[in-house]
Amino acid sequence: MSLRVAVRFVMGLASIGFAALVLCLPAAAQKRVALVVGNSAYVHAGALANPANDANEVAAALKDAGFGMILGLDLDKRAFDAKVREFSRVLAAADVGIFYYAGHGLQVAGRNHLVPVDAQLQSERDLDFESVSLDFILKQMELEREGKTNIVFLDACRDNPLARNLARSMGTRSASIGQGLAQVQTGVGTFIAYSTQPGNVALDGQGANSPFTAALAKAIKQPGRNLTAVMIDVRRQVLAATNGRQVPWDHSALTGDFYFHQASAPGMLPGAAPAAPAGADTEAMQRRLKELEAELKSRPDARQATNIARLEQLRERARQLQEANRADQSRIFDTYRKQGAASDPKARSELNREIGSIQMQIARRGQEQRTLGEEITKLESELGLVAQGERK
């Protein structure tokens, strides 16, 4: 081999090595932070046995996976707000943000509220002053973080005496207080998981941790598994631990795979396990899904619980669409009023375009409502329930 050829060969190897190192750098440099909150010691409601333990368990698992940690235990309103502010500040420079909450939570008019330990909910007005809005936390996680990853875990569907107190004070308007938590429509890049299906109540657990958190912390500690695989295992374990009474639920708007342990993500870092062949992850996931489906089919109670959970999810979505249409109809009415007061033809034309846009949104929702209605009717039939339209 000539000297010139030898030099080219060595330079080629060096280039390959440098390229491989560059490909690994984004994962290695990724900044990941978590806010973990566990509220147990409620002053104006019965104390919960496990949330503080749950938060400690999840915090330890995420620390081991390399997350920067903000941990809050038994937070009153002032302390809860301070932790959220601290979290929002570090999120600005973070590639991944995780929020975990265990404690009391409630939904009112489709909006979810997390409850500090000193909260007193004597009237609907108290909600904004005494609780922490989940929508506010999600906004902080998504604000100016386009292309970043947000993950939320909510173990907050426990039976809540504060919600009952609030319902009594609201009289006929108490119908807006739903059981458990409402489903949240997230922005792109956000994943949200509930300890049980939306609108349902989760179990606090008999051991040191809730069924959901016990399964979640265990799954987080296992390297080489993406978030989808983690949630399938969590769902399977919770179904088994609760005899099918509790079905963890999630909604994803992620645009790629997420691994808790970066070093074990396929092809990410030197020394990591070899990347699986193309399609292997998908095949493995399909096998897991089939195993879970077979397990559910072998247990009638679990299968029925899954169908009921799906039915409640569809009904909740239908309710949200109906509320959105009502709001848009009010917007159309207000726009017509503005149109009547507008003398400038250009302004009137702009208002007409706005009305047309709103009407198109209502029409799109109408199509989704029809599809949902068909699915709801089918599920009600399978469950032996009377269809909504046949009820007297």
Q: What is the pLDDT of residue 2?
A: 45
User: Is residue 23 over pLDDT 80?
Assistant: no
Q: What is the mean pLDDT of residues 60-73?
A: 96
> Contact 248/282 with Cβ under 8 angstroms?
no
Q: For the residues of 48-82, what is the DSSP string, one character each? A: PSSHHHHHHHHHHHHHHTT-EEEEEES--HHHHHH
Region of poorest pLDDT, from 39-48, 75-84, 117-126, 160-169: 160-169
Enumerate residues 6+ apart whose C-beta is below 8 A from 74: 38, 39, 40, 41, 52, 117
Q: Which pLDDT band, with edges at 50, 70 and 90, does 242 fall under?
A: confident
Residue 348's SS3 state is helix
Q: Which pLDDT band, with edges at 50, 70 and 90, does 17 fall under?
A: very low
Q: Which residues pair with 323 in a beta bridge?
A: none
Q: What is the dihedral of CA 375, 379, 381, 386, to 10 degrees?
A: -90
Q: What is the pLDDT of residue 173?
A: 30
Q: What is the pLDDT of residue 34?
A: 97
Residue 164 CB-half CA count within 13 A: 7
User: Is residue 289 over pLDDT 90?
Assistant: no
Q: What is the dihedral of CA 355, 361, 364, 370, to 10 degrees?
A: -90
What pTM was computed for the model? Answer: 0.61
User: Is residue 177 over pLDDT 60?
Assistant: no
Q: What is the pLDDT of residue 291?
A: 60
Q: Which pLDDT band, with edges at 50, 70 and 90, does 86 fall under?
A: very high
Q: What is the mean pLDDT of residues 12-41?
A: 62
Q: What is the identity of the amino acid at 316?
A: E
Q: For the residues of 156-183, what is the DSSP string, one character each? A: --S--HHHHHHHHHHGGGGGGEESS---
Region of poorest pLDDT, from 21-30, 101-110, 181-190, 222-231: 21-30
331-352: buried (b, 16+ CB within 10 Å) or exposed (e) per residue?
eeeebeeebeeeeeeeeeeebe
Residue 9's SS3 state is helix
Q: What is the pLDDT of residue 19?
A: 41
Residue 345's SS3 state is helix
> Contact 124/166 with Cβ under 8 angstroms?
yes
Residue 367's SS3 state is helix
- Average pLDDT value for the chain: 75
Q: What is the mean pLDDT of residues 154-173?
A: 54
For 207-220, the pLDDT digits (tens) are 789 999 999 999 99
For 300-353, the pLDDT digits (tens) are 565 666 677 777 777 777 877 787 777 777 777 677 666 666 667 777 677 777
Most confident of 2-16, 50-64, 154-168, 279-293: 50-64
> Contact 179/199 with Cβ under 8 angstroms?
yes
Region of poorest pLDDT, from 31-35, 90-94, 373-377: 373-377
d(C-alpha 296, C-alpha 152), whole Å: 26
For 115-146, the pLDDT digits (tens) are 999 988 776 777 888 899 999 999 999 988 88
Q: What is the pLDDT of residue 292?
A: 53
Backbone angles phi, psi at 293, to 5 degrees: -60, -40
Which of 190, 157, 260, 155 is CA-nearest to residue 218?
260
User: Is residue 43 over pLDDT 70?
Assistant: yes
The structure tokens listed for 16 are 């390959």
Pairing of strands 149-155, 190-194: parallel
d(C-alpha 280, C-alpha 286), whole Å: 10
User: Is residue 53 over pLDDT 80?
Assistant: yes
Residues in the chain, total: 392
Alpha helices in 179-279 (DSSP H): 211-220, 227-241
For 195-210, the pLDDT digits (tens) are 887 656 666 566 789 9
